Amino acid sequence: MNIDVNIPVLETTNICAGYGDTQILNNVTLSVSKGEKLAITGRNGVGKSTLLNTLMGLTDLHAGSIKLHGQTLHTLPPHKRALSGLGLVPQTRDIFHSLTVEENLLSGMKNRNNIEEAYALFPRLKERRKNGGAQLSGGEQQMLSIARTLMGRPDVILLDEPLEGLAPVICDMLMDVFFNLAADGARTLVLVEQHIELALEFSDRMLILDNGEIVFHGPTETVRADPSILEQHIGLGIMET
């Protein structure tokens, strides 16, 4: 199933990928345009995180191609993908516990130019910049993980369940951050999220995966108007609030 959007920033064509010989993704083709907010959802274990990891080069690509800004990406190692403008906020956060907040932010950098921007986005991190990674709460760790990814100034930000396990107030704050990041239309955000309400609130477009395949894509408005889509593919309805 293909998604056609004008001015694609990130494109995948029939990608099949997984871990070793185990194939998780089957012929996934998608296109994400500049400034777009795409939500990817689906049940557990359907390949959502694998899709993001594949875009980042952290899985084994068996077939297909990936392009960023029209340039071939799938032949590049992960660090070159990051330098090309792709940024992944992993589900596991992967904070370096032996480093302080500031050291975590600087660990992938050649200079400290971007650090004030990260602190402006997350003032809490500036307050805790001398604290060790292990001393942070889950929400702070997530802020740090996002800020560390942003230090590389990515054009396309891949967010792998960034709100998982966080208190509602932190989720709200992070959602504000995501909207701010997308506000000027310069960045593209791809959010993997199982909280359907949050995915619907966040995205312009939704994509549902099942068994490593795209089983639905379309404007978020379509899903809002027809909740049976979610029931059909995920077995969930939209909660009445």
Partner 1 sequence: MDTAIRQNRPRHGLLTFRRLYLDLALIGAGIAAFFLFPDSLGFLTRVLIMIIMVLSLDLVLGYAGIATLGHAALFGSGAYAAGLFAVNFSADPLLGLAVGAVAGAVIAFVSGLILLRAQSLTLLMLSIAVAQILQEIASKERAITGGSDGLLGISMEPIFGIYAFDFVGQTGYWYALTVLTAVFVLLKIIVASPFGLAARGIHESAERMRAIGTPVYWRLVAIYTLAGGVAGIGGALSAQVTELVSLDALGFSLSAEALIMLILGGLGRLYGAIFGTVIFMTIHHLAASVDPFNWLFVIGALVLIVVYFLPEGFIGLPARARKLMRWSP
Please give the residue ranges that form the binding site for partner 1 (CB under 8 A). Answer: 56-58, 77-80, 82-83, 87-88, 90, 94, 96-100, 103-104, 106-112, 130, 132-135, 148-149, 151-152
Measured from the CB atom, the residue of 44 and 111 that comes closer to partner 1 is 111
Nearer CB in complex with partner 1: 33/141? 141
Residue 6 or 111 having the CB closest to partner 1? 111
Structure tokens at 89: 């906020």
- Nearest distance from C-beta of residue 187 to partner 1, angstroms: 16
Three-state SS for 9?
strand
CB of 43 to partner 1, least distance (A): 25
CB of 132 to partner 1, least distance (A): 5
Residue whose pair of structure tokens reads 């619907």 in the numeric block: 200
Instruction: Give the helix/strand (H/E) hosting 144.
Output: helix 138-150
Among 44, 25, 51, 81, which residue's Cα sits nearest to residue 191? 51
Of 147 and 230, nearer to partner 1 (C-beta) is 147
Nearer to partner 1 by Cβ, of 57 and 139: the residue is 57
**Nearest Cα to 219, choosing from 25, 39, 6?**
39
Please provide the DSSP assignment of 200-233 as one string: HHH-SEEEEEETTEEEEEEEHHHHHH-THHHHHH
Residue 109 token pair: 């950098």
Least separation in angstroms between residue 216's CB and partner 1 is: 28
Distance in Å, CB of 104 to partner 1, minimum = 8
Q: How far is the CB of 84 from partner 1 (least distance, A)?
A: 9
Does residue 138 contact residue 168 with C-beta atoms inside 8 Å?
no
22 vs 97 by CB, closer to partner 1: 97
* Cβ proximity of 194 and 164 under 8 Å: yes
Pure H helices in 33-137: 48-56, 78-84, 101-106, 115-121, 123-127
